[in-house]
A = this chain, B = another copy of it.
Amino acid sequence: LVDVATRLLDEGGVEAVTLREVGHLAGVSHNAPYKHFTNKEALLAAIAARELAAHAEAVAARPALRTLMHDYIAWALQYPARFKLVFGKWTTESAELGVAAHKAQTMLVDIVAETQAAGDLPEGDPVRLASLIRALAHGAADLAAAGHLAADGKGHAGPEDLVDDLLGYLSSRDIRRSASGLPPV
């Protein structure tokens, strides 16, 4: 089943999920999964689809933008293998994955637009601003998961801090006025 594959993924990364071990832990033979999934990649895609659906559900709850990004980072650090699977390159062109990703992205844009309307983000194309925020959260989470963040030790800035820094810069009243074409106060 997908459950045991997810467990193997969390425990030992993507290279630990082998069809033989999946079958063994599920109590079937090593090639029984082929009757349910055409491929090993199809099984991994099923994990990614389920995870992405949960992610879309979290976005649909319309949390605050900062909360959403923090939750995203916490999830990436707790389940780095799932994170890499969901937001890495998809080798299987699953329509299920595509629509789930599109839905999550659309709802994120809505949240960004609402935050703009509340005056906490500069004006401008919400799609583009959502991409900027998402790219930062993704990069900070990926670098942190790989251990490449703040190796200096002095800055000791975690990925959540970087998200807060960005949102802080973007929410300053001056930059909002500047971006809107109005003169700064």
Q: How distant is the Cα of A151 from the Cα of B89 in the complex, in angstroms?
A: 13
Interface residues of A in 134-177 (CB under 8 A from B): 134-143, 145-152, 154-155, 157, 159, 161-162, 165-166, 169-170, 172-175, 177
* Bound CA–CA A109/B165 (angstroms): 17
Using Cβ atoms and an 8 Å threshold, which residues of chain B touch A155? 125, 127-128, 131
User: Is A66 close to B, CB under 8 A?
Assistant: no
A106 to chain B: closest CB distance in Å?
A: 8
- By a CB distance below 8 angstroms, the chain B residues around A166 are 132, 136, 166
Min CB gap A110→B, angstroms: 12
Give Cα A82 to B150, complex, Å. Answer: 21
> Of B122, B127, B140, B151, which one neighbours A154 at CB under 8 angstroms?
B127
The 8 A CB mask of A42-70 against B (1 = contact, 0 = none) is: 00000000000000000000000000000
Distance, CA A145 to CA B87, complexed state (A)? 10
**Cβ of A105 under 8 Å from chain B:** yes
Does A119 count as interface, using CB distance less than 8 angstroms? no
Q: Which of B122, B127, B132, B145 contacts A136 (CB 8 A)?
A: B132
Copies in the complex: 2
- Of the candidates B102, B135, B162, which one forms a contact with A131 in the assembled complex, judged by CB atoms under 8 Å apart? B162
Nearest CB of chain B from residue A12's CB, rounded to whole Å: 12
CB distance from A154 to the nearest CB of B (A): 6
Q: Do the beta carbons of B140 and A89 come within 8 Å of each other?
A: no
**A95 an interface residue at 8 Å Cβ cutoff?**
no
Q: Which residues of B contact A149 (CB under 8 A)?
A: 131, 135
* A135 & B128 in contact (Cβ 8 Å cutoff): no
A residues with a Cβ closer than 8 A to B are: 80, 87-90, 98, 101-102, 105-106, 109, 122, 125, 127-129, 131-132, 134-143, 145-152, 154-155, 157, 159, 161-162, 165-166, 169-170, 172-175, 177-179, 184-185
